[in-house]
Structure 1
Amino acid sequence: MSVATAEDLSAVGLSTVDQPPRARRVRSLIGWLLVTALVIGGAALMLRVAVSTPSWRETLDPEGVGETGAMALAEILRDQGVEVHVYRSRLETAAALDADTTLVMANPVSLSDEGVAALIEPADRVVFLSTGTHLVELLELGENAVAPSAPVEAHCDAPEFALVGTIRPDRFFAPGDRVRGCFGDDGAFAVLTAERDGAVHTVVEGARLFSNARLAEDGNAALALALLGQTDKVAWYVPSFADSDFEEESPETLGSLTPDWLTPAIMLLLLTGIAAALWRGRRFGPLVAETLPVTVRASETMHGRARLTAKAADAAHAAAALQEGSRRRLAKRLGLALTASADEIADAAADRLRIPRGSLQDLLGGPVPSHDAALVLFARQLAELETSVDSSHALLENPSEEHRDR
């Protein structure tokens, strides 16, 4: 029984050449478009991040609805009859201050020391809802202290804090001279208050305590009302770099520190990379056969393609390759053109073997098996057919052997 040649088995392997050329080109073009879009999108995102300025608008913003905003606190004050006016300009804030107004703000990091002093100077009552080490030192209220681990109560004689209960602050301070400390013990307090020249200045680290997400916990809401509800009106100033007094300029950012030529250079490098990828990358269009730079033995190709097909369990592909190889060899042995159809080859083989026409059409041109057991039987039938045709061809060339057999 004959076996398939290495040339036939080489066709058994998986190949992308079977795909329509137009479909391959469309998929390849879509892939390159996606890569280009991702590169351009990434570059735009990096440039946007580089030139953007930091923003604390959401943190304790009385109009902020996020978890870090303070809209819930502003609404509670309004429900208690306190007029809450939100300002984003320090000039408008200063104009709105009077004896019945409490000036409220978060840590004004966008203002200089002179700007902070000018803003709070006309106010009789000032509350900083968040603070930093520099602000505490600027107001001469004290210094940082070690925070207790347990919840704390007021532990001071301020009547407005009597019904607050316990809170869990994130930061504690050691009060300075003539500064009252509340909500703490052993020299560490969360709230510092100083009365100087008829003005009351209070600081507390409330970025978490007074946020929308945490206001309902412990005594946070009661503490906020005790701090901000002592007057009929609240002027709530929201610091921002748009209202900064640092030489009337916005703070330096990564975008402002980089030279002007850097952005065009980055874009030029990106375009160069895209051009190089298109130039050196895979060309659009169908695959083109070319001579390999090395000599590969047919047996290596045969075994490699066979292993790929076995790994893919593609019995139908293997059967189609074996069927095509048998048709090609039979056409050559029967003296037919290589372009002969399966029916023509089947009829010629039947005539050579002197069997009825139509008995070989299914084997040479019919559907191929789709599982391994049928593939083995199918290969055996093809091999037996080729052997029979070879035998009949040998008898035609040397009829004396037939007489000797008889």
Structure 2
Amino acid sequence: MMPDTRTVDHVPVPGPAATDQRLPDDGRGMRRRRVLGWTVIAAFLILVGIAAALLSGIGAWNERDRLDPESVGPGGTAALVEILRERGVDVTVTRDRDETMRALAEAPATLVMADSAILGDDALQAIFDAATDVVLIDPRTRGVEMLFPGATASGFAPAETVDPECETDAAVRAGSVMPGRLVEPGTSDAVACYPSGDGFGLLTSSSGEGLTAAFDGRDLITNENLAADGNAALALNLMGRLPNLVWYVPSLTDSDIATEPTLGELTPGWVTPAIVLLGASAVAAALWRGRRFGPLVLERLPVTARASETMEGRGRLYESGRDALYAADSLRLGTLERLRRALALPPAASATDIADASARLAALPHQDARRLLIEDEPRDERELIALSDGLRALEAAVARGIRGEGDAQPEQTKR
């Protein structure tokens, strides 16, 4: 395969005049943009953290507000607690199971609490047993079954007031109320009051000196509903029998439910420090590499590249690709450019014009010149070599014609 036969000696490259020329964007501008970018990222992370804290706080406040004896919100029960204290009842609010057990052991007291999934069956039963009176203000099936064996929680009452229709003194003196969630006495010996729908709004049971009651306090004793109907009277009659009252709000630390080991507990101790170390290394690497980026600078390149090296490299590429047609096009482009300059033709001259002018000067048929410079398509290396020889002979014939030497016709054409 014949490589490009152009006679260029050197390839022009940028000279030293372009060395160390900086782009218009200086280092101070890039530093300002970098600082601004990090500031925006930090501000975004801070805003996300604040939003998450606010959302979690709102959720925690809503959970505490529901039937919380210290909450003055619509769903709290602080108003009922203040009324009980005004009536001479010593109300103690506890949020710890051990503290609750100690308070109940000091003197006969009424326990007021909502059934909570935080406590296991044994812990809940122990608290019930420690109290003299028990008032369950958020009855669920488990708590109702513990207080009234055979009873259960059922659906919800329609939005209408109902009369007690029972002999329980606390309900009779309170009058009509609008129940929320209903309970069903089932096979228990509990007294059911406030019939509505498929259940009752109140279950009570007396044993010795103690009283046990269960009703849905969410629609009766909250701050927003306490003044309606006989709600306040019913709550005071059930909770104010004894001089001491313990209002227990279970917390997460009170849980006695055995849980499966978490992923953190199953993970070896060295994993967390390794993750932290890898994260710190990644951040340090990012900062280190980020500081290396600066303004672009034009650097000095190698001064010269020999044309023979470029020609040899291109020739090896064409040979490895076995693209004879592309190599032929490269040879023709170089030959056409050299012939145009030798014939003093304008840069806009077409390949046909160059071929015709070369044919006239070399005393060749126009068709033969066009075949060499335009039309022939070599299919393999043998035909490519023949084309390269023909182009070289055509250039030599044109050069002789320019010099005025006789018989400028190429030898291959003569044969």
Normalising by the smaller structure, the TM-score range is 0.5 to 0.7
Letter in 1 for 2:141: T
Indicate whether 1:70 and 2:77 are aligned. Answer: yes
Alignment map for 1:54-65 (pairs within 5 Å): 57-65=64-72
Letter in 2 for 1:149: P
Deviation at 1:127, TM superposition (A): 0.5
Deviation at 1:102, TM superposition (A): 1.6
1:29 matched to which residue of 2?
35
Q: Kindly indicate whether the alpha-carbon contact (under 8 Å) linking 2:75 and 2:224 is maintained by their aligned counterparts in 1.
A: yes
Indicate whether 1:166 and 2:177 are aligned. Answer: yes
Q: Kindly indicate whether the alpha-carbon contact (under 8 Å) linking 1:25 and 1:284 is maintained by their aligned counterparts in 2.
A: no
Alignment map for 1:7-406 (pairs within 5 Å): 21-36=27-42, 38=44, 57-87=64-94, 88=96, 89-98=99-108, 101-139=109-147, 140=149, 142-157=151-166, 158-162=168-172, 163-169=174-180, 171-176=181-186, 177-196=188-207, 198-207=209-218, 209-217=220-228, 219-246=230-257, 259=267, 264=273, 267=276, 271=280, 274=283, 278=287, 285-286=294-295
Could you say what the CA RMSD is over the residues aligned between the two structures, in angstroms? 4.3
Question: Cα deviation per residue 1:231-265 (whole Å; 9 max; x = unaligned)?
Answer: 33312223223344458xxx679686673566556
- SS in structure 2 opposite 1:104? strand
Deviation at 1:275, TM superposition (A): 5.5
Letter in 1 for 2:253: A
The separation in 2 between residues aligned to 1:196 and 1:121, in whole angstroms, is 12
1:305 matched to which residue of 2?
none
Deviation at 1:121, TM superposition (A): 2.1
Deviation at 1:273, TM superposition (A): 6.0
Q: Kindly indicate whether the alpha-carbon contact (under 8 Å) linking 2:160 and 2:178 is maintained by their aligned counterparts in 1.
A: yes
The 1:42/1:117 distance shift into structure 2, 3 A limit, reads same
The 1:42/1:164 distance shift into structure 2, 3 A limit, reads same
- SS in structure 1 opposite 2:183? strand
Q: Kindly indicate whether the alpha-carbon contact (under 8 Å) linking 1:208 and 1:214 is maintained by their aligned counterparts in 2.
A: yes
Deviation at 1:96, TM superposition (A): 2.8
The separation in 1 between residues aligned to 2:261 and 2:272, in whole angstroms, is 14
The separation in 2 between residues aligned to 1:68 and 1:268, in whole angstroms, is 47
Deviation at 1:224, TM superposition (A): 2.2
Letter in 1 for 2:193: C
The separation in 1 between residues aligned to 2:271 and 2:225, in whole angstroms, is 44
Number of residue equivalences = 265
Letter in 2 for 1:126: V
Letter in 2 for 1:77: L
Q: Kindly indicate whether the alpha-carbon contact (under 8 Å) linking 1:192 and 1:202 is maintained by their aligned counterparts in 2.
A: yes
The separation in 1 between residues aligned to 2:232 and 2:296, in whole angstroms, is 72
Deviation at 1:155, TM superposition (A): 3.0
Segment of structure 1 superposing worse, 125-134 or 263-272? 263-272
Q: Kindly indicate whether the alpha-carbon contact (under 8 Å) linking 1:62 and 1:70 is maintained by their aligned counterparts in 2.
A: yes
Letter in 1 for 2:100: R
The separation in 1 between residues aligned to 2:164 and 2:151, in whole angstroms, is 18
Bigger Cα Rg: 2
The separation in 2 between residues aligned to 1:195 and 1:138, in whole angstroms, is 15
- SS in structure 2 opposite 1:146? strand
Unaligned runs of 5+ in 2: 1-22, 300-415
- SS in structure 1 opposite 2:246? strand
Q: Kindly indicate whether the alpha-carbon contact (under 8 Å) linking 2:139 and 2:153 is maintained by their aligned counterparts in 1.
A: no
Deviation at 1:160, TM superposition (A): 1.9
The separation in 1 between residues aligned to 2:296 and 2:218, in whole angstroms, is 63
Identity across matched positions, percent: 36
Deviation at 1:33, TM superposition (A): 3.9
TM-score, normalised with respect to structure 2: 0.51
Letter in 1 for 2:127: L
The 1:104/1:285 distance shift into structure 2, 3 A limit, reads same
Q: Kindly indicate whether the alpha-carbon contact (under 8 Å) linking 2:193 and 2:200 is maintained by their aligned counterparts in 1.
A: yes
- SS in structure 1 opposite 2:112? strand
